[in-house]
A = this chain, B = another copy of it.
């Protein structure tokens, strides 16, 4: 296997943390997103969608997003389990993971990519250039703020996002929270349940940069 990573980006970090939690050792190829290496012919041959993470399997099959990669790894290396052991648990974890991705990471991406000077004309990842929409950056900020409120409410009643144990949903959520530092949306002092969860997750050996 080969893992195409970029040490400065939140999406491949989801895979980095997943691999670290699993205790796996997978060879890494760094792709420099800041210099636009993902748009090179060499990388397009690996992933025509021009995004990381990518996991290349030994038979040449490529998996092109963090959820698919995580699913493959969780099914191939079952312990410690991060995505559920029975149909109900798998579905519940998938639901919370999706919430952390759509309401969490996607909101941060909306805010950052439609605002940052270095991302002009690059409001969406991938091979097509889309112009920034300033109103969308504002909306992303509002959604990010709302996501932290949702998380705080959830952690007031549940130790981890999907229930009483650490799962992939916590990885996705903590990466969303960290990502929000770039858009200056931070955990509020009164969000004590969220802070408590965050400190717990950030203290794990699997919490890697």
Q: In the complex, A86→B87 CA distance in Å?
A: 15
Report A86 CB to chain B, min CB distance, Å. 8
In the complex, identify which listed stretch (A34-42, A128-136, A172-180, A192-200) lies at the interface while the others stay far away: A128-136
Q: Which of A42-64 contact B (CB under 8 A)?
A: 49, 57, 61, 63-64
Given the interface contacts A61-B92, A133-B139, A146-B128, does A87 sit within 8 Å of B67 by beta carbon?
no
Interface check A95, CB cutoff 8 A: yes
Report A43 CB to chain B, min CB distance, Å. 17
The listed residue (B76, B128, B143) touching A87 by CB distance below 8 A is B76
Contact B71 A90 (CB under 8 A): yes
In the assembled complex, which residues on chain B have CB atoms less than 8 Å from the CB atom of A65?
Answer: 95, 98
Q: Which of A90-127 contact B (CB under 8 A)?
A: 90-92, 94-95, 98-99, 124
Contact B92 A68 (CB under 8 A): yes
Report A203 CB to chain B, min CB distance, Å. 29
In the assembled complex, which residues on chain B have CB atoms less than 8 Å from the CB atom of A186?
Answer: none
Q: In the complex, A95→B86 CA distance in Å?
A: 21
Contact A67 B139 (CB under 8 A): no
Interface string of A77-92 (1 = CB under 8 A from B): 0000000001110111
Contact A94 B68 (CB under 8 A): yes
Q: In the complex, A88→B61 CA distance in Å?
A: 9
Report A141 CB to chain B, min CB distance, Å. 12
List 28 A–B pairs whose Cβ atoms lie within 8 Å, in order of A's numbering: A49-B99, A57-B88, A61-B88, A63-B91, A64-B95, A64-B99, A65-B95, A65-B98, A67-B98, A68-B92, A68-B94, A68-B95, A68-B98, A71-B90, A71-B91, A72-B87, A72-B91, A75-B87, A75-B90, A75-B91, A130-B142, A130-B143, A133-B133, A133-B135, A133-B136, A133-B139, A135-B135, A135-B136
What 10 additional pairs, Cβ within 8 angstroms, besides A68-B91, A133-B135? A63-B95, A64-B95, A65-B95, A72-B88, A75-B87, A75-B90, A75-B91, A128-B143, A130-B139, A135-B135
